[in-house]
A = this chain, B = another copy of it.
């Protein structure tokens, strides 16, 4: 199971067995059930999660009760409320499980420890957010250059798994479209 983490890290840096043995104990294995909350609005957030198995959504709840999906997170993705995590603020997001989920938990303390004691890991995390940054820019561009229908088409092409794993209502909320409108696209 932890092999998956090692493989993930080694996509960016190389590790000796000894190094990985040092790294691994900084993580804790944890399971969540479908519908369970991993991060809840209003709470402080001192953990980041690496998804081994399952699917989660990060959502923002409007004043009028509408749920907007900022992100889906599946296998090999990192997730938490990063604003809360990095700035030590209360969460504004809810993160909950669309399926049963297995994660590796990395606390703020352990992440800093890893980054301080092991330059390589700080490098890993820098490259990792860089990639995340580019991904978010791409997402923003989809809002600018595509209308709702094209955004939907583009999403299905990019993440065909999603189409199988999540109800359309949620895809609509990720795309910023009403589920009725999205439904009419299929036709």
Chain A, 135-165, CB within 8 A of any chain B CB: 136-141, 143-145
Q: Which residue of B lies closest to A71 (CB)?
A: B137
A147 to chain B, nearest CB (A): 10
Chain A, 91-112, CB within 8 A of any chain B CB: none
Chain A, 66-112, CB within 8 A of any chain B CB: 66, 68-71, 82-83, 86-87
Cβ of A125 under 8 Å from chain B: yes
Q: How far apart are the CA atoms of A69 and B144 in the complex, in Å?
A: 8
**Interface size class of chain A, counting residues whose CB lies under 8 Å from the partner chain:** 35 or more
Cβ of A119 under 8 Å from chain B: yes
Number of copies: 2
Cβ of A60 under 8 Å from chain B: yes
Q: How far apart are the CA atoms of A70 and B82 in the complex, in Å?
A: 21
Cβ of A129 under 8 Å from chain B: yes
Q: Mark A111-142, 1 if CB is under 8 A from B, else 0.
A: 00001000100110111011111101111110
Cβ of A186 under 8 Å from chain B: no
Which of B86, B130, B137 is the one whose CB lies under 8 Å from A136?
B137
Q: Which residue of B lies closest to A176 (CB)?
A: B144
Query: Can you list 16 contacts pairing A with B, beta carbon distance less than 8 Å?
Result: A60-B145, A68-B144, A70-B141, A70-B144, A82-B137, A83-B134, A86-B131, A115-B126, A122-B126, A126-B129, A129-B130, A129-B133, A136-B137, A136-B140, A140-B140, A140-B143
Cβ of A16 under 8 Å from chain B: no
Q: How far apart are the CA atoms of A58 and B135 in the complex, in Å?
A: 16
Query: Which B residues are CB-close (under 8 A) to A87?
Result: 134
Query: Which B residues are CB-close (under 8 A) to A176?
Result: 143-144
